[in-house]
Amino acid sequence: MLVDIVKWIKNYSEDNGIETLVIGVSGGIDSAVTSTLCALTKMRVITINMPIHQDKVLDSRSDKHIDWLLLNYSNVESNKIDLTESFDSFSSVFSDSNKDSLSLANSRARLRMMTLYQIASTNKGIVVGTGNKVEDFGVGFYTKYGDGGVDISPIADLMKTEVWDLAKEIGIIQEIIDAPPTDGLWNDGRTDEEQLGAPYAEIEKAMIYAEENNLSEFSPTGDEKFDSVLNTYLYHRNKNLHKMKTIPIYYKDSEHVMHSNGPN
């Protein structure tokens, strides 16, 4: 799988005249694995750490991983762009009625997305996504037009547990492997498990079960613990399904049907 993903990234880039791979490094396992996969292509890779009121532990892990990449791969370059002032300036123009903690968290992700594309567009590059299968196609645990705004997604067909396995295979720093997953968008440092309500390994089992049984609504299995996770999985999936569908379009041609995927 490792060799296949690296080859896929390189082939896509060569077929499309891409010279540079641009990726945000957060200090988490997904961006650590994906940035290393990019480095293994031997193409030019630009890694970017983009703190916004960042937790010092996360910021440190991001720096450590980038330093590890720079030490081991001569094709890797790094940038650290502190977006705290830009974010604060953006936030300050809105009244309290037009901002809340969730909208501001999503705005952090969208500001980072714009930064990645600014770098990519001036370096004949593309933005490489770091989302895994559970987040991107299961529960929709990402920001629309934020970390979901990318050009390619090398690990989007890998379950979270597969990402951990790949991290061990390619030698990712143990501190990053052991760290509780977090999106780093909240000042209180909440983890993914706290936001989702269950560990990734359990959510994966619920995701597989729901897909195999074509479930869109909760139906009890009789296993109280599993039912709780399954219900949690379907709640997040249904709430975020609009992110994972094609943008709805109104067609003036009467032969087409207008569909609505839900609110943005």
Q: What is the mean pLDDT of the chain?
A: 93
Higher pLDDT, 87 or 250: 87
> Residue 264: its pLDDT value, please?
40
Q: Give pTM, 2 decimals.
A: 0.92
Residue 260: predicted pLDDT:
47
The whole-number pLDDT of residue 254 equals 63
Mean pLDDT computed over 30-34: 98
Instruction: For residue 154, give its domain range.
Output: 2-178
- Segment 122-150 mean pLDDT: 96
Q: With a cut of 80, say whether residue 6 has pLDDT above it.
A: yes
- Same domain for 92 and 219, yes or no, is no
124, 214: one domain: no
Query: For 98-113, what is each residue's pLDDT tens digit?
Result: 999 999 999 999 999 9
Instruction: Find where tokens 């209180």 sit.
Output: 188
> Do 147 and 213 reside in the same domain of the chain?
no
b (16+ CB within 10 A) / e for 169-205: eeebeeebeebebbbbbbeeeeebeeebbbbbebbbb
Do 142 and 203 share a structural domain?
Answer: no
Of 252, 249, 251, the C-alpha closest to 260 is: 249
Does a structural domain hold residue 139?
yes
Q: Could you say which of 116, 149, 178 is where a domain stops?
A: 178
21, pLDDT greater than 70: yes
Q: How sure is the predictor about 188, in pLDDT bands with cuts at 50, 70 and 90?
A: confident
For residues 172-188, give the mean pLDDT: 91
Q: Are 120 and 127 in contact (CB under 8 A)?
A: yes
Q: State the CATH number of the domain containing residue 120.
A: 3.40.50.620
Question: In the prediction, which pLDDT does 189 show?
Answer: 79
124 pLDDT band (50/70/90 cuts)? Answer: very high
Phi first, then psi, for residue 77 (nearest 5°) are: -120, 160
Q: pLDDT at residue 259 above 70?
A: no
